[in-house]
Structure 1
């Protein structure tokens, strides 16, 4: 009898914990909205332990994400600014482009907050904003298309370095798809940057970000973002950091990083 009661409680504890942390997240979002007078939308992908079995789940930008973000934008008046807290390794191009397209068409100001990183599709979403606000050590990433495990630009490079009679038909097909994928991304990025800067500067940014100039996981620092000519500001509101604390990584048997969780002011 007591065994089943304890087992029942043990299975419900993670559910209660998840409900409580979700409540705290909503409260933190609402505080930031009241402070800034905006609609705050979070797109945060962390590895979290959700099930009662303790299985960690890692997330990426998905179609479900784009559906939810688009719904939040539809619920926002055209005159209300939107703040996006973005923390993601990237994801589906379709979903990223849908989110970026919707943000680009929002009439009021759109601000992207990047506390740690917004890679690949996350960078594409950031380019749709009127202003990108980053932590001093946060990074963006290139948006060059990937075909499976290979960069599209590298597949094209193979066809330019070897005679055609030495290249497999499958590789030639991939190269054709790669050219189309790069062209599609370039055209979409130019659409996002249209009207935000001179056409020559926009074309140069698009070329660097989408053509394989860097590897796909290359970290683009705030200094480099500024050099590219994108509208960037360094320094996040403290409420953004507080909200990120409510998206913890799952605890393991031994923590890999430990420190005294308080701010030091130079005194003992």
Structure 2
């Protein structure tokens, strides 16, 4: 009897995560369908959360990769040319090739493309956002520079070495890296110019591409709503509440004690009573 109960416990423990994931997936699909009906659009999500490996239990960051680009491109191809696309982005960035593929597919879509950034879309995520007709950001959301990274070093910093020292005092390896870095910057700069909406004047496109790729800021510099508007991007903060609800359906792993907690009751300011 005890062994039967123990076996049942292990079976339930094994099935519980699968059932939870299935329930979350169904809830996400219902909310996505609601958003699509509301906006008469195709909703595509690209959301990267920190995940925990089930055995060893250490965190693994997720990034934009080729698998993501293949799935997003298939979703775009399955969308009628004139149907608007609403893309919800939450990512630290990732492989430049994959981000460029997604951005180019969005750029070529004939219907209106809106990218929603509820919290952050850095690096490759920003590259994707640049291809949109409109970027909707949460009031505290952030974008980031897209300067190429070669290994552990930013490409603009490698190029700047050539200006700091006589060429005879620079190793051959550094000179080669600087040459590759210069090519990477130019390639990404030209890609950004091609991705930005056609109605933008060419001089504004070139200026924006220079700012985002030339290492004016560090790679993790937070481009908030005001900075993004100052750069000439078509940004609004008209974020639908459903987008934040959808983010709640992509939970972080629950194997650890949360670092942030607050009461479940909605709090609104109340007029103080006189003493």
TM-score normalised per structure 1: 0.96
Matched-pair contact (CA < 8 Å) for 2:148–2:188: yes
Q: Distance in 2 between matches of 1:55 and 1:72?
A: 32
Q: Distance in 2 between matches of 1:167 and 1:53?
A: 44
Where do 1:95-106 residues align within 5 Å?
Answer: 95-106=98-109
Q: Which residue of 1 aligns with 2:153?
A: 150
Q: CA RMSD in A?
A: 1.6
Shift of residue 249 of structure 1?
Answer: 1.4
Closer/same/farther in 2, CA of residues 158 and 30 from structure 1, 3 Å limit = same
Where do 1:159-238 residues align within 5 Å?
Answer: 159-193=162-196, 195-238=198-241
1:91 aligns with 2:100: no
Q: Distance in 1 between matches of 2:268 and 2:92?
A: 33
Q: How many residues align?
A: 268
Closer/same/farther in 2, CA of residues 78 and 253 from structure 1, 3 Å limit = closer
1:108 aligns with 2:92: no
Q: Which residue of 2 aligns with 1:42?
A: 45
Shift of residue 250 of structure 1?
Answer: 1.6
Shift of residue 20 of structure 1?
Answer: 1.0
Matched-pair contact (CA < 8 Å) for 1:119–1:217: yes
Q: Distance in 1 between matches of 2:128 and 2:15?
A: 37
Query: Any stretches of 5+ residues in structure 1 without a counterpart?
Result: none
Shift of residue 234 of structure 1?
Answer: 1.1
Shift of residue 254 of structure 1?
Answer: 2.6
Q: Distance in 2 between matches of 1:25 and 1:84?
A: 14
Q: Distance in 2 between matches of 1:141 and 1:253?
A: 29
Closer/same/farther in 2, CA of residues 18 and 70 from structure 1, 3 Å limit = same
1:261 to 261, 264, 267: 264
Shift of residue 5 of structure 1?
Answer: 2.3
Matched-pair contact (CA < 8 Å) for 1:48–1:249: yes
Q: Quick check: which has more Rg, 1 or 2?
A: 2
The alignment partner of 2:87 has SS state of strand
Shift of residue 50 of structure 1?
Answer: 7.0
Matched-pair contact (CA < 8 Å) for 1:120–1:143: yes
Query: Any stretches of 5+ residues in structure 2 without a counterpart?
Result: none
1:10 to 7, 10, 13: 13
Matched-pair contact (CA < 8 Å) for 2:132–2:197: no
Q: Distance in 1 between matches of 2:26 and 2:56?
A: 22
- How far does the alpha carbon of each residue in 1:203-259 deviate from its partner, in whole angstroms, 9 at most, with x for none? 110110011010000000100110111111112001001000111112244321111
TM-score normalised per structure 2: 0.93
Q: Distance in 2 between matches of 1:214 and 1:253?
A: 34
